[in-house]
């Protein structure tokens, strides 16, 4: 992997107070996790795609290595040192892990190999009592997590999710798929019980699901509000606000966070306020963000350009609650069309471009995340077929050594010129 100058990588400017407060939410969640562990209560390391209500209904506090890797890419041990994600990736590479592997993987393996779990932002992730991962999307996660389980000497459970081929992603899940995945959820609860002694409690699960549904409804409201012109909430705010919904679903605190965000965005729409004072064109970001350089989401603002939308971590409409069978409900919800990170169709992306009035598209081709970056080329195809200018940038998720600031700026400047020519505006 080539070493590149990264002087331009820095944090984004947020336009919303709630987004600026998302860091405090993360700090408090990590503090609660460490206090949970200190009290002798169970901790799990989980992949991002496991249903979070499982943990909150069983009294297990989750930490997420993928999320923590993104955090490592934003922080450094001292002002003079390189980012923590690079520091730990180097350790992994010294132990034979290829630079072609996912940056999440390399940085977390280096973090574990380093031997001090407290050596990282927010005191690190508390030592796990177990690992739980999903089989879906990621092409190396199963071996990555087997490796973690062996190094940490803790038991691991794989929540096996039916892999649905592309044509099936647009169809209601089959009965045998639902039956199989429901049995997987049952096995997951049994595994947690074997490790912690906490038994499946349908009432507690239903209570968590109630909060999760309320949270999801509010997030869908926010998506609708973001279609307004001028854009009331951009991608800098959107990616900053992912954590509560993606990692704390099933909790009251996640609902409270998004209710506040909804109210702030709604007030902006009603007042006609946008991210910037003079919005001239709108962009969509497709793919995983450059976690180490979120300032890229403010790049076009001096020209009147805003990132109005980013579909990667979208919520989606859920089916009606079924408290008589919450496990069946969870299985159906998880396997619904549109729930896979990479399930967007060409026509689906066209509709998003129309709904959010997109003038240009930036696609982050994260070449170390093959299951995501290849299917998302459909978004580029959809935009180009509509005559919407696009640009592709290339880098890893968290390893900024793969990022060429000069090259990216050149490509973004060219995109701005194409948009200006198409809209007949002067930059």
Residue 12 lies in a domain: no
Say which residues have a Cβ less than 8 Å from residue 131's Cβ, sequence separation at least 6.
44, 45, 46, 145, 148, 149, 152, 154, 155, 156, 157
In a domain, 7, yes or no: no
- Residues 94-131: pLDDT tens digits? 999 999 888 999 999 999 999 999 999 999 999 999 99
What pLDDT digit, counting tens, does each position of 317-371 carry?
898 999 999 999 999 999 886 544 444 567 788 889 999 999 999 999 887 777 7
Write down the pLDDT at residue 383. 87
Give the chain's domain count: 1
Residue 386: which domain range? 17-423
Structure confidence at residue 8 (pLDDT): 54
- Strand-pair partners of 76: 83
The average pLDDT across 146-160 equals: 96
Q: Report the pLDDT value the prediction gives residue 379, as an integer from 0 to 100.
A: 81
pLDDT tens track for 196-244:
999 899 999 999 999 999 999 999 999 999 999 999 999 999 999 999 9
Q: What is the model's pLDDT at position 6?
A: 46
State percent of the chain over pLDDT 70: 94
CA distance 145 to 64: 12
Q: Does residue 380 belong to any structural domain of this protein? A: yes
Measure CA 235 to chain center. 12
Q: Structure pTM?
A: 0.93
pLDDT tens string 157-187: 999 988 755 444 556 888 999 999 999 999 9
pLDDT for position 68: 97
CB-count exposure of residue 115 (10 Å: 0-12, 13-18, 19+): exposed
Q: What is the mean pLDDT of the chain?
A: 91
**CA separation for the pair 302, 228 (Å, rounded):** 21
DSSP-derived 3-state class of residue 52: coil
* pLDDT for the residue numbered 63: 98
Higher-pLDDT residue of 135 and 259 is: 259
| pLDDT, tens digit (0-9, with 9 covering 90-100), for 46-58 | 998 899 999 999 9
> Would 4 be classed as within a structural domain?
no
Check residue 117 and give its pLDDT: 97
pLDDT score, position 166: 45
> Would you call 364 helix, strand, or coil by DSSP?
strand
Q: Which SS3 state, helix, strand or coil, does residue 311 take?
A: coil
Q: Which neighbouring-strand residues pair with 46? A: 132
DSSP-derived letter for residue 174 is P
Residue 2 domain-assigned (yes or no):
no
Q: What is the pLDDT of residue 164?
A: 58
> Which distant-in-sequence residues (6+ apart) come within 8 Å of 101 by Cβ?
140, 368
Q: Which pLDDT does position 171 carry in this prediction?
A: 67
Q: Judge whether 221 lies within some domain.
A: yes
Residue 267 has pLDDT above 90, yes or no: yes
Residue 143 included in any domain? yes
3-state class percentages of the chain: helix first, strand second, coil last, to nearest 5: 50, 10, 40
Q: What is the pLDDT of residue 338?
A: 57
Number of Cβ within a 10 Å radius of residue 191: 17
């Amino acid at each position: 992997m080539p070493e590149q100058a990264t002087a331009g990588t820095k944090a984004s400017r947020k336009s919303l107070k709630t987004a600026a407060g998302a860091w405090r939410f993360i700090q408090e969640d990590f503090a609660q996790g460490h206090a949970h562990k200190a009290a002798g209560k169970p901790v799990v390391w989980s992949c991002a795609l496991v249903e979070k209500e499982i943990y909150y209904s069983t009294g297990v506090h989750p930490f997420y290595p993928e999320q923590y890797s993104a955090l490592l890419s934003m922080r450094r041990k001292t002002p003079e040192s390189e980012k923590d994600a690079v520091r730990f990736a180097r350790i992994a590479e010294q132990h034979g892990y290829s630079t072609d592997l996912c940056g999440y993987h390399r940085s977390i393996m280096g973090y574990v190999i380093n031997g001090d779990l407290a050596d990282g932002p927010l005191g690190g992730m508390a030592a796990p009592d177990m690992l739980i991962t999903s089989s879906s999307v990621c092409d190396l996660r199963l071996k990555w997590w087997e490796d973690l389980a062996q190094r940490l000497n803790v038991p691991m459970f794989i929540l096996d999710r039916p892999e649905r081929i592309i044509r099936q992603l647009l169809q209601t899940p089959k009965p045998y798929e639902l039956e199989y995945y429901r049995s997987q959820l049952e096995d997951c609860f049994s595994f947690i019980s074997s490790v912690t002694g906490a038994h499946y409690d349908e009432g507690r699960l239903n209570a968590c699901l109630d909060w999760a549904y309320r949270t999801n409804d509010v997030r869908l409201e926010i998506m609708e509000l973001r279609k307004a012109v001028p854009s009331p909430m951009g991608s800098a705010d959107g990616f900053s606000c992912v954590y509560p919904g993606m990692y704390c679903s099933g909790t009251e605190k996640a609902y409270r966070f998004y209710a506040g965000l909804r109210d702030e965005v709604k007030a902006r729409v009603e007042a006609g306020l946008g991210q910037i004072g003079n919005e001239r064109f709108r962009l969509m970001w497709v793919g995983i963000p450059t976690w180490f350089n979120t300032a890229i989401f403010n790049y076009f603002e001096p020209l009147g350009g805003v990132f109005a939308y980013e579909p990667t971590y979208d919520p989606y409409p859920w089916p009606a609650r079924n408290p008589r069978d919450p496990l069946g409900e969870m299985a159906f919800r998880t396997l619904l069309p549109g729930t896979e990170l990479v399930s967007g169709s060409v026509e689906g992306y066209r509709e998003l471009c129309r709904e959010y009035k997109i003038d240009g598209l930036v696609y982050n081709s994260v070449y170390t995340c093959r299951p995501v970056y290849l299917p998302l080329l459909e978004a580029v195809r959809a935009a180009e077929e509509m005559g919407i200018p696009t640009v592709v940038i290339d880098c890893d998720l968290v390893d900024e050594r793969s990022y060429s600031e000069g090259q990216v700026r050149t490509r973004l400047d060219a995109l701005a010129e194409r948009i200006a020519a198409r809209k007949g505006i002067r930059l």
